Chain A
Amino acid sequence: MPHTKRRRLVTTAVAVSVGATALAACGSGDGSQAESGPVSLTYWTWTPGMDKVVDLWNKGPGKKDRITVTVKKQASGDTLVTKILTAHKANKAPDLVQAEYQTLPTLVSNDALADISEEVGDVEGKFAEGVWQQTTLGTDALYAVPQDIGPMMFYYRADLFEKYGLKVPTTWEQFAETARTLKKKAPDKALTTFSANDSGLFAGLAQQAGARWWTTSGDKWKVSVNDAATRKVAEFWGGLVEEGVIDNQPMYQPAWNKALNTGEEIAWVSAVWAPGTLTTAAPDTKGKWAMAPLPQWSPDEDVTGSWGGSSTAVTTDSAHKEAAATFAAWLNTDHDALNALAKEGGIYPASTSAQLSGAFSNPPAFFSNQPDFYTRAAGIAKTTAPSAWGPNVNVAYATFNDAFGAAAKSRSDFGAALDRMQDATVADMKKQGFGVSR
């Protein structure tokens, strides 16, 4: 019973203006007592090399404030959310956790994350509005500090585009035309693939089209996974797959790597981190790729979606909320910390001032042919559309993998798959005890 009640409270809090204080009152039990004596914090993160970045803290500002942070490296993904929630059930969650943006509502609705709006200091101005809004969930509270983002972009083989006389598409309509032209000129090649094994890609594309999958009104959630914008995206890609002008094989598989490496597929709709993936997936194509903004739905628009990205959050189990929040703010806004994060962990920082400094003054090695890579990336990042995540993104994503996976394989109707995604998401939310409006 109290379970459902709390959820309802959270629902209210997540609504744009009302009820935020109610959660703040119920969320964080032990508040800010003055820190005295040395504090030691544990931090669950999957970022490679984070221990080296944290060393900077432990030897610098942390030493001064007597706050020591210990990194416990974890595997990323939805299973980590389960692990955090299990630990939280036993009140044993670590002080700090790394969390992807779409998992924040899940963690908040389970009362696992503390509101740190009072403790982080004045950092809001360092982040783009669309990014910041994902960590406040539209309330007055703050549940995490943004760390990295994944603005979406269009990657293509510049050499092969030239060879086949293709122009970089600026609208999705042109994108479809480009796919058809290529299929005509070289039937054994495809522009790209529609992959159903990474729901983040589809969510990002829908976000660009203006979809808002989870919204709240009053104390009820509204789920619109199959709204008009998402349907437009699903039918666009479903149509291309059905027509046979793009491939339907899943990403990240050996066959896909091979297709990219040998130039069977000559473009990839991806995000700012793509150079890293291409380096391992298609090592022979170094220096042959170029990056452009994502095609638009109408010529006068300039928006992109986001795919990936994460934040640093403080849990309600932490006995040192203030110290943990101070560290989270340092990690994601300090110049040296961000530089080290970029160098050791390969992240693309959410902090706007870091996007053009230090590690990002030169293009990634794989894109040495495009010297203004990061200048353009920073420009594109500014156009990221706002996103709307709900408390059971994992269920929607899992259904996406099943339904769209089957639809892509059989080249059948994507609309039906989308409806399945909507129904499964709503059913799960009702089962969990959330109020859902039709």
Chain B
Amino acid sequence: MSTLAVRKAAPAAGTTPGTARRPPLRRRVALIPTVTLLLGAVYTLLPVAWVVIASTKSGHELFSTFTFLPGTGFTDNIRDLNAYRDGIYWSWMGNSALFSGLGALLSTAVSAVSGYALATYRFKGRETMFNVLLAGVLMPPVILAIPQYLLLAKADLTDSYLSVLLPQILSPYGVYLARIYASAAVPADVVEAGRMDGASEWRIFTRIALPMMIPGMVTVFLFQFVAIWNNFLLPYIMLSDDEKFPLTLGLYTLLEQGSNTPALYTLVITGAFLAVLPLIVLFLVVQRFWSLDLLSGAVKS
């Protein structure tokens, strides 16, 4: 309810009597943030625009024509990429989708269960556990890749799909987010009411708490999906068979072919361009879950 009130109040604030008196000042204040944000947007979008335009250029045009002049080679580039080693690019794309999709799904499930448990149950060692988790958030995953490799080597799991999936299932950041979100979105009263009605803990979680946590879990899913999609070092260390490579690794092998063979720039650029598309589609599709606000109306306060 309160969010709605704020939303309604916002335009009202703009029409307060003060505005009529000093419009020039207000406009100047608005100009600086707008320009700053626009500059920021240009700064971040320029490389994207470069990739989009460069992917339309043939190898001949790539470095010889004006940078932002679209080329004529887009279909040829796609055809070359498609033909490169019998379309191995699409296996990389499939691998990336598998690692990211399944990995993010499992990771979100684990995060939801553990975050909910940490938020609703009081048990001994809860704070210690949470603090350890916080320390895990601060630990960059990059430095864990080599120890994880040595660990999985003991289990004879290296160079397998599992070796890339397993380490990414437990995401400290995901659990952390899930706990914060669960404690904010799932009121203790609702859980209590469920218990009064005789629902089992599992049923309370899956039927009552989980739907309330959906927007937060979508965020966790997206974070994990993007993180795994862009991950380089973990698959780099784990995998040696290039049929199992995700996109990041595959494109890297096209770039680093040794000094005898020049880098396959056009293929890499076109490949990078196509690799961004699934992420954009995912964001567009998943976006609507964010506006889902189950919070409102559950408890009266």
Contact = CB atoms under 8 A, between A and B. Distances in A.
A258 B63 contact: yes
Given A90-B149, A257-B63, A73 B258 contact: no
A281 B260 contact: no
Given A47-B257, A83-B240, A86-B150, 10 more contacts: A47-B261, A74-B240, A79-B236, A92-B158, A200-B259, A273-B259, A276-B261, A280-B265, A308-B259, A348-B260
Decide if the interface of chain A is mainly helix, strand, loop or mixed: mixed
21 contacts: A47-B258, A73-B253, A74-B240, A75-B252, A75-B253, A75-B255, A75-B256, A76-B256, A86-B237, A87-B153, A89-B150, A92-B153, A254-B63, A261-B63, A273-B260, A276-B260, A277-B262, A280-B263, A281-B262, A283-B64, A308-B259
B162 to A, nearest CB: 15
A4 B258 CA distance: 32
A308 B242 CA distance: 24
Given A86-B149, A90-B149, A48 B64 contact: no
A20 B296 CA distance: 78
Contacts of A310: 258
Contact of A261 (B64, B67, B149, B241): B64
Interface in A278-328: 279-281, 283-284, 307-308, 310
Contact of A86 (B146, B241, B260): B146
A82 to B, nearest CB: 9
A46 interface: yes
B73 interface: no
Contacts of A347: 260
Given A258-B64, A280-B59, A281-B63, A72 B259 contact: no
A19 interface: no
A72 B241 contact: yes
A91 B156 CA distance: 11
Interface in B136-173: 146, 149-150, 153-154, 158
Nearest to A47: B258
A307 B259 contact: yes
Q: Identify which of B64, B150, B260 gathers the most chain A CB atoms within 10 Å of its CB.
A: B260
Interface string B59-92: 1101110010000000000000000000000000
A238 interface: no
A74 B237 CA distance: 11
A434 interface: no
Contacts of B259: 76, 150, 200, 271, 273, 307-308
A242 interface: no
Interface residues of A, number: 44
10 closest cross-chain pairs (CB), A and B:
A90-B153, A308-B259, A75-B256, A257-B63, A280-B262, A76-B258, A75-B253, A73-B242, A76-B256, A72-B240
A114 B60 CA distance: 44
A345 B241 CA distance: 19
Given A73-B253, A92-B158, A346 B261 contact: yes
Contacts of B62: 254
Contacts of A276: 260-262
Nearest to A45: B258
A405 interface: no
A346 B260 contact: yes
A307 B258 CA distance: 12
B240 A42 contact: yes
A273 B258 CA distance: 10
Nearest to A284: B64
Contacts of B242: 72-74
A148 interface: yes
Interface of A: 42, 44, 46-48, 72-77, 79, 83, 86-87, 89-92, 94, 148, 150, 200, 254, 257-258, 261-262, 271, 273, 276-277, 279-281, 283-284, 307-308, 310, 345-348
Contacts of A89: 150
Contacts of A348: 260
Nearest to B255: A75
Given A79-B236, A308-B259, A347-B260, A74 B63 contact: no
B245 to A, nearest CB: 9
B260 A308 contact: yes
A394 to B, nearest CB: 15
A283 B260 contact: no
B240 A44 contact: yes
Nearest to A42: B240
B254 to A, nearest CB: 8
B95 to A, nearest CB: 14
Contacts of A44: 240
B136 to A, nearest CB: 22
B210 to A, nearest CB: 39
B240 A48 contact: no
Contacts of B236: 79, 83
Given A280-B59, A280-B265, A90 B158 contact: yes
Nearest to B153: A90
A270 to B, nearest CB: 10
A77 B256 contact: yes
A262 B252 CA distance: 29
Contacts of B241: 72
B85 to A, nearest CB: 8
A246 to B, nearest CB: 21
Given A75-B252, A86-B149, A86-B237, A148 B64 contact: no
Contacts of B256: 46, 75-77
Contacts of B253: 46, 73-75
A273 B260 CA distance: 5
A46 B258 contact: yes
Contacts of A86: 146, 149-150, 237
Nearest to B150: A90
A76 B150 contact: no
Contacts of B67: 254
B76 to A, nearest CB: 15
Q: Identify which of B59, B240, B258, B263 gathers the most chain A CB atoms within 10 Å of its CB.
A: B258
